[in-house]
Structure 1
């Protein structure tokens, strides 16, 4: 499985994502042996669109530039 992390991550504490035949998987890079969370592609798309729309900017301490 090809796990990817954001190019904005500059530490060992990052979220990583991968995909299998049906789902998008998310894991914590500090614990790669743990069971990843699974999301349908529709769930993942809804999340990505919300991030791009700025719906979670307040969780990052303000607008992400």
Structure 2
């Protein structure tokens, strides 16, 4: 599977994710040769679920 850029990325770039098994890779979208951080699929799913639930949202104000 190819690298997929975040839909929330702006003009300055963001992160790209590759969910190819057996690990999920994350890298800087501005530098395709940057180091890749790898996650077990279960850990990645937990993180994404927590993001969607608002766990990492910035406090208002």
TM exceeding 0.5: yes
* Cα drift, residue 33 of structure 1: 0.5
Check the 8 A contact 1:25/1:38 in 2, yes or no. Answer: yes
Q: What is the deviation of 1:10?
A: 2.3
- Flag structure 1 segments of 5+ consecutive residues without an equivalent: none
1:47 maps to 47
Task: Report the counterpart of residue 37 of structure 1 in structure 2.
Answer: 37
RMSD: 1.6
1:9 to partner: Cα distance:
1.4
Deviation string 1:30-53 (CA, Å, 9 cap, x unpaired) is 221022100000110110010011
Aligned length: 60
